[in-house]
Structure 1
Amino acid sequence: MICSRFQLPSLRLMGTAVPKPLAVKLPNVTPSPLSFESPSAFRVKTFGELLRALCVFQFCSFPLLVNNCAKLMSVAQSLLGRRGVSLLLKPTFYSQFVAGENEKEIFKSMEKMSSLGLRPMLAVPIEEDLGESSGEKRYDDNMNAMLECVQMSHRNSWSKDPMMQLKITALLNPELCAKLTKLISQQPYDLSLLVRAMDGEPINFAGLDENEVSHFHCGLQRLNKIAEASVNKVRVLVDAEYTYMNPALSLVTMAMMKKFNKDGVWIWNTYQCYLKESRYLLLKDLQLSQNEGFGLGVKLVRGAYMDKERKMAETENHVDPVHQSWEDTNNSYNGLLDVLLEVISKRPESYRIIVATHNEESVKRAAKRMKELDIDNDGGSVCFGQLLGMCDHVSLTLAKEGYAVYKSVPYGSVSDTLPYLVRRAQENRTVLQGIRKERDLLRQEFKRRLRGGSKSSV
């Protein structure tokens, strides 16, 4: 059963008590040699790539511009038209954060990434939220785009263990997800019901009307088709979204895991550590995976929807679901990281994690703990992830040291990816505004080139 929230019970995993991460006393070991202080990581970039990154990051360092980027894009479109905006964005922001528009451009970007030891994690940039829901044809079109993403990820040798991202609300009405979240907080659904519905069995889900049941069935079968196409080929990382729909998304994701993660970890869930309930949610799902006998894949993130979550809580007179301080979020992230690495060290075949963060201290902590627990750098159970076009000094350094490193890679036309880029910029503006160090390292490498230094491999 899946519940949305209740008091955390005393859980036991693999016969041992789940450790309290902040109370674990770690042995004294030699500090991790990882260092992200040198601009040499950027020597693989061309002069043009350095210049573009510097210009883009300079723009992103101004909060006023980032906060109002949607309005700026709207004004630009009214003045320049769609073609003019495309000509403006394609060589700048688009090229910095998007892999390409067509298969040839995407392949070229992926080949270069692979040559640097980085692995692509392709993402179809589809944006859906409350009030933006579509008909079944639109959701079917989204499914076909994701099936193409599976094929593209699998049929090329960019990495030995390909991944892709999946957004459930691109396949299932966000309003229905919000309603399901309320329903399962009162009367949880059994995972087996959803698995049977994925297999095509007509199930009457309590609390939903006839049209909602029909759409839910269609959505589950869309997800089933993507999962079937992915098993033994591509690992599918399901995105988390807002708290008013996350329990429903997790319910669906756990059902997919129950069906498809029996002999491998192919479906993964995302856990947002800026939420106060993140520890409870992850420990609950660890216990669930043990009880149900399936593997659990974890994408561990800090989170990107803080402002909207707090505004919604205030408007609806709810308790703020987000940690009150950045330090509390860090403690949450690092604590869950410790728990997962401990579990993985015991059963690496059943549990996996992508340490999806731009935070250098968390990356160093993970690398250090992997050494302590004798977890292979590139054994498949632990990998790292950052966004395309950002945090390259961390990504490239990790790759050089032999760790598995993925870059989240959106692709598509400028018009298709513009809503994605705008929303990501607004949701991740604290990250964008905190790129001073990367910008300074880029500037150092830029000056070195101007003085006559040559480009070299990392």
Structure 2
Amino acid sequence: MLLKMIRQYKLQNVQTTQCFVRLLASNSKNNHEKVKFDSSATAYGHKSKSELFRGWFVFKLCSYSSLVNNLSQLFNISRTILGQRLFEYIMRSTIYGHFVAGTNKTELKPITERLRKHGVKLILDYCMESDISSNNNQQKINSSILNPSNENIYNENLLKAIKNVQTAAELYGSSAMIAMKITAFVPPDILQKLNQILEEQQPSTKLSILEFISNTSTMNKDELTEVKHLIQRINRIIQEVKKHNGRIFIDAEQSYFQTAIHRLVLELQEQYNRDNLIVYNTYQCYRKTTLNLLQQDLIRSKTNNFHIGFKLVRGAYMDQERKRAAEMKIIDPIHPNFLATTESYHRAFVETLENAKNNPNKVHIFVASHNENTVQFALKTMDLMNIKRDDGLVSFATLFGMCDYLTFPLAAVGYDAYKLTPYGPIHRLLPYLTRRAQENRAIFAKAEKDRQLHYKALKERILH
């Protein structure tokens, strides 16, 4: 019913979302307790005065685009001038301390306990990834990916990923969740070639990726071996997750990797999600193909009888995708503006939620959004469909250090709320922090509410 209603609106602008939100609001049964997204006490009650000041200061700094655009160079210059020890102290007092939960399990534990008291859980991410450069040579993106042709590097990353699973299990037991990126475990040029093959030839889903490329001459022996090793590594990680009764997000990445990643994750879901939900796929709603892809995946999960988990995001590579499309003179793979992406996100949520309601315990959705309007849309849609907060169909997630005014009020009234939490040594996280700041420069520039609420909470704490 909801899909028919939302499809009545064909305008590719704000009217679509506004009309549907008003429709939801007018028909809402309000079975959820009203969530107050302007309560500084609820959002930041878990923070100390120094953490509140640091949060306000960091958001203020990140609102300056000239600083964000040159963050990598500033890191390098500061480290050279100040020395490693003083540089790390300053980083802990500013951007690293705000957006990263710590370097190891010892530092994670008190944060985990503090958030648990407020009903917020963590999704642990020991950040590792790699990318290709514009001229198709290998480029270091994460300091852990030193030489993409070196097998030892990917095996080392495998061990770190397994350790991440074990750390999450020790901190959270059977409710542990982790996140990871496929590019940490394979040379990116191999993944890009596999992606191109799958896009051009579109093999039947009845064949696995490995079966398909083994029966074609599109990859040489060494390339085929790399793909085999990738699949072995990912299976080893998921087996460890399954051993600890945990769950795993496999993140989406750039469009020139994403078809291969998505296809691989679907195979993993079909393999491991038979009895319960272990593996989640990520859907970038700024991609024009996402809604059709999501619909096809729902059909496949029903046909082949496996559980399916959706992590809905807007997308994190907008600048890079647009630049690449212009340079290669290809069609831009992402929606033309924020409003079109919002409409895509909302339609994806309605589609998955209707399927979740009709297939209880088979479909689960993570609303991974920093947009308050989208979160409100999700709550009102749940009301209209008479889905309770504890029905186990919908969870909410934001990045550690961002939009606490969304996550903590949701958790306070009983919604399933998470923080996607990076951790690791400072030198390993510098590329992540640089990319995170640059990807979210628009969010930081407009994060007036986050800054104001940090300031309000700090002022109230000092006065009282």
What is the TM-score when the length of structure 2 is the normalising length? 0.88
Structure 2 equivalent of residue 213 of structure 1: 224
SS across alignment from 1:348: coil
- Identity across the alignment (%): 33
Q: Residue 384 of structure 1 aligns to which amino acid in structure 2?
A: F
Structure 1 equivalent of residue 28 of structure 2: 29
CA contact (8 A) 1:194 1:220 kept: no
Structure 2 equivalent of residue 11 of structure 1: none
Matches within 5 A, 1:27-426: 28-30=27-29, 33-41=34-42, 42-130=44-132, 131-132=138-139, 133-157=148-172, 161-191=175-205, 193-194=207-208, 203-204=214-215, 206-231=217-242, 233-426=245-438
- 1:176 is displaced (CA, Å) by 1.3
Q: Equivalents in 1 of 2:229, 2:49: separation in Å?
A: 49
Q: Equivalents in 2 of 1:278, 1:307: separation in Å?
A: 18
Q: 1:83 to 1:252 in 2, by over 3 A?
A: same
- 1:383 is displaced (CA, Å) by 0.3
Q: Equivalents in 2 of 1:448, 1:17: separation in Å?
A: 43
- 1:300 is displaced (CA, Å) by 0.1
CA contact (8 A) 2:210 2:227 kept: no
Q: 1:206 to 1:150 in 2, by over 3 A?
A: farther
- 1:362 is displaced (CA, Å) by 1.0
Q: Residue 222 of structure 1 aligns to which amino acid in structure 2?
A: R
- 1:203 is displaced (CA, Å) by 4.3
Q: Equivalents in 2 of 1:29, 1:21: separation in Å?
A: 16
SS across alignment from 2:419: strand
Q: 1:435 to 1:18 in 2, by over 3 A?
A: closer
CA contact (8 A) 1:165 1:238 kept: yes
Q: Residue 29 of structure 1 aligns to which amino acid in structure 2?
A: S
Q: Equivalents in 1 of 2:334, 2:209: separation in Å?
A: 32
After superposition, what is the alpha-carbon deviation per residue over 1:32-57, rounded to whole angstroms, capped at 9, x for unaligned? 62231222222332111111111111
1:435 and 2:412 correspond: no
Q: Residue 154 of structure 2 aligns to which amino acid in structure 1?
A: Y
Q: Equivalents in 2 of 1:70, 1:354: separation in Å?
A: 31
- 1:248 is displaced (CA, Å) by 0.5
Q: 1:353 to 1:401 in 2, by over 3 A?
A: same
Superposition RMSD on alpha carbons, in Å?
A: 2.2
Q: Residue 102 of structure 1 aligns to which amino acid in structure 2?
A: N
The answer for unaligned runs of 5 or more in structure 1 is: 1-15, 454-458
Q: Once structures 1 and 2 are overlaid, which stretch shifts more, 224-233 or 388-397?
A: 224-233
- 1:178 is displaced (CA, Å) by 1.1
Q: Equivalents in 2 of 1:267, 1:206: separation in Å?
A: 31
CA contact (8 A) 2:209 2:264 kept: no
After superposition, what is the alpha-carbon deviation per residue over 1:328-352, rounded to whole angstroms, capped at 9, x for unaligned? 1111111111111111111131111
- 1:327 is displaced (CA, Å) by 1.0
- 1:141 is displaced (CA, Å) by 0.8
- 1:30 is displaced (CA, Å) by 4.1
Q: 1:17 to 1:360 in 2, by over 3 A?
A: closer
Q: Equivalents in 2 of 1:37, 1:126: separation in Å?
A: 35
Q: Once structures 1 and 2 are overlaid, which stretch shifts more, 398-407 or 92-101?
A: 92-101
Q: Equivalents in 2 of 1:165, 1:403: separation in Å?
A: 21
Q: Equivalents in 1 of 2:7, 2:50: separation in Å?
A: 45
Q: 1:393 to 1:281 in 2, by over 3 A?
A: same
Q: 1:407 to 1:284 in 2, by over 3 A?
A: same
Q: 1:194 to 1:124 in 2, by over 3 A?
A: farther
SS across alignment from 1:236: strand
Q: Equivalents in 2 of 1:422, 1:347: separation in Å?
A: 41
- 1:185 is displaced (CA, Å) by 1.9
SS across alignment from 1:384: strand
CA contact (8 A) 2:403 2:450 kept: yes
CA contact (8 A) 1:162 1:234 kept: yes
After superposition, what is the alpha-carbon deviation per residue over 1:364-386, rounded to whole angstroms, capped at 9, x for unaligned? 11112223323231333210000
After superposition, what is the alpha-carbon deviation per residue over 1:431-458, rounded to whole angstroms, capped at 9, x for unaligned? 222211011111112222232x2xxxxx
SS across alignment from 1:380: coil
CA contact (8 A) 2:112 2:171 kept: no
Q: Equivalents in 1 of 2:260, 2:412: separation in Å?
A: 39
Q: Equivalents in 2 of 1:262, 1:405: separation in Å?
A: 25
- 1:323 is displaced (CA, Å) by 1.3
Q: Residue 320 of structure 2 aligns to which amino acid in structure 1?
A: K
- 1:265 is displaced (CA, Å) by 1.6
